Structures are given as C-alpha cells and as structure tokens.
C-alpha cells in the first residue's frame, strides 16, 4: 500500500510519524474519512472543506492549499488502484515539546491512507441494528465544538466500549441536557408521521456529510425535514429510525434499549433513503481515473 505523507507517496512500511508529534501525545489534530465508489471520490470537496474548517477552528495551519489536498487525495487513491474503498486523511499538529503548547510545533504533518473498507455485514442493512443508550455523554459544544472532526475521539471510544459490552453495534449519545446528540460514529434520523427528524448540530453531533446528503435526498423525495432537539422518548415512539455515516452509509435501526421501533423491521421510507443514497453515491463524485 502507498501512503501519502507530507508530499510523497511512500511505502506503508516507511510511513511513520514522530513520537513527539502532538497528535500522538495529545490527540491534537484533525481528520476526515471519505469513500470511493465506482472510481469516484464521494463528496470530496465537502470533506476537504470540513477538514480545513476543523483545522481553522483549532488554530492548526495545514501546510497545503485546498487544491493541493484535493489533488493529493485523488493521487493516493490512484496510486493504490482503488475503485471502491475508504480514505483516511489526517493532519497532525506536528512535532513539538512535551508540553501542551501547540505554538511550539512549527509544522503540521499530513498523511493519507486509501484502502479497502470492511463494511458492516449485509444482514445489518437487511435486518437493522439494535441500539442502546450509553451513560457517556457528548461534551458540551463549549467544551469541544461538535463540528470539529478532531483526533480526540476518547469520548466516542468510551461510548463504543459501552455499546460493545452491551452486545450492541452502536450507542446513542445524549448531551448534558439529555437530548440526543448522535451515535459514536454516526448521525441519527427518525421518521414520524412521514416527517424526517434529526437532532440539531448544536445538540452535540458532528455535522455529518452523509447527514447532509440525506437532507438533500429528502428534498428530492419530497419528505418534510425538521432539525430539532430529540429525546430517547422520540426514538421509542418513532415509526422508523436510521443512522448515517461515511463508513456505515445508511443503516436501519429496529430497537433502542430493547424497545422495538415501529414494527421492528427496517421501514419503507428508510429503504427509500438507502436506495436514494446508493444512487447518489454511485452516480456522483470526483473521478480518479
């Protein structure tokens, strides 16, 4: 596998960063996860824009222009001959001292991994997921801005541990006020009386790019959308529920905390969203070849 590292495509065995990089010492950096479908990079511009926005919010200067990052991403996919797969793009704060001070890290590093992806098994899409609510809360936006896709994922990892210990594949994370924020790596949607509901980003979720695709698709399907604060109760009484994320795509949910949602099967509108998403994924994107 060829890895793009600070301007060069190098062999996987040579792709190394320093133990003094603040990404390693403090989780100080930002990243993106992007999909390749049919030899095209899906929503590439949006992902790179979010990367730059995340970096700006944490006062991290990416030593490459937006256009250069786009080009480097496409080059990495091409160098690995991928038609379908997953891209992980990481910008680290760079090497500095052992103290926190990011101003003592003179230059950020960037690396890009383009690889195949291990998807959820097909049965989860056919049968839907059973979710739990975890005790780990999303941090308040004033503590850690939810829009920033930073390398600081310990909060989500704590939630993921709870999900795994409860034999669930995903967990609902609430914010400090008890409203639904998101899952450990996915945004959440409900359908109630034909209306599509999703939490406000200000309730603590990542401003997901798959989420934005679903909002666009809702427009095309003529489904009314409401972004509003949601509670567990809203999920319990929803007709349908699904999650969205770059890796998961659109995955139906059939229960929360052992309460069946709707009739306990992936719902008809959910299936339409899954189809419409696949159509969008397979027919749009930045060509690599």
Residues of the shown chain interacting with ligand PMP in the complex, contacts defined by CB under 6 A: 33, 156, 182, 185-187, 205-206, 208-211, 244-247
Residue 197 pairs with which residues in a beta bridge?
190, 226
Two structure tokens written together for 58: 């944490």
Q: What are phi and psi of 28, to 5 degrees?
A: -90, 100
Residue 107 C-beta: closest distance to ligand PMP, Å: 26
Match 């989420």 to its residue by tokens: 211
Residue 228 C-beta: closest distance to ligand PMP, Å: 18
48, 60, 201, 246, 250 from 150: Cα distances, Å: 14, 11, 16, 16, 23
With respect to ligand PMP, which residue has the nearer C-beta, 128 or 208? 208
Residue 206 C-beta: closest distance to ligand PMP, Å: 4
With respect to ligand PMP, which residue has the nearer C-beta, 96 or 205? 205
Q: What are phi and psi of 177, to 5 degrees?
A: -85, -5
With respect to ligand PMP, which residue has the nearer C-beta, 207 or 234? 207
Annotated catalytic residue, options 16, 149, 192, 220: 149
With respect to ligand PMP, which residue has the nearer C-beta, 186 or 240? 186
Q: How far is Cα 158 from Cα 170, in angstroms, rounded to an integer? A: 12
User: Has 149 been annotated as catalytic?
Assistant: yes
Residue 113 C-beta: closest distance to ligand PMP, Å: 15
Residue 153 C-beta: closest distance to ligand PMP, Å: 7
With respect to ligand PMP, which residue has the nearer C-beta, 87 or 110? 87
Q: Catalytic residues, which ones? A: 149
């Amino acid at each position: 596998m060829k890895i793009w590292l600070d301007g060069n495509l190098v062999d996987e065995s040579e792709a190394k960063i320093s133990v003094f990089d603040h990404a390693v010492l403090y989780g100080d950096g930002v990243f993106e996860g992007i999909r390749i479908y049919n030899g095209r990079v899906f929503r590439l511009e949006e992902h790179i824009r979010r990367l730059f926005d995340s970096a700006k919010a944490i006062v991290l200067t990416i030593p490459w222009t937006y256009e250069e990052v786009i080009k480097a991403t496409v080059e990495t996919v091409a160098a690995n001959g991928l038609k379908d797969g997953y891209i992980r793009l990481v910008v680290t704060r760079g090497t500095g001292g052992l103290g926190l001070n990011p101003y003592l890290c003179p230059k950020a590093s960037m690396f890009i991994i383009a690889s195949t992806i291990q998807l959820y098994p097909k049965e989860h899409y056919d049968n839907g997921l059973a979710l739990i609510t975890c005790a780990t809360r999303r941090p308040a936006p004033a503590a850690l801005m939810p829009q920033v896709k930073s390398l600081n994922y310990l909060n989500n990892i704590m939630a993921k541990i709870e999900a795994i210990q409860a034999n669930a594949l995903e967990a609902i994370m609430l914010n400090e006020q008890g409203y639904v924020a998101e899952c450990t790596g996915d945004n959440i949607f409900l359908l109630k009386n034909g209306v599509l509901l999703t939490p406000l980003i200000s309730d603590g979720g990542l401003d997901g790019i798959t989420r934005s695709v679903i909002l666009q698709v809702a427009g095309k399907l003529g489904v009314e959308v409401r972004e509003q604060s949601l509670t567990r109760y809203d999920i319990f009484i929803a007709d349908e529920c699904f999650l969205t994320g770059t890796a998961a795509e659109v995955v139906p949910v059939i229960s929360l905390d052992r309460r069946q949602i709707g009739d306990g099967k992936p719902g008809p509108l959910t299936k339409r969203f899954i189809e419409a998403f696949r159509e969008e994924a397979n027919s749009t994107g930045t060509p690599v070849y």
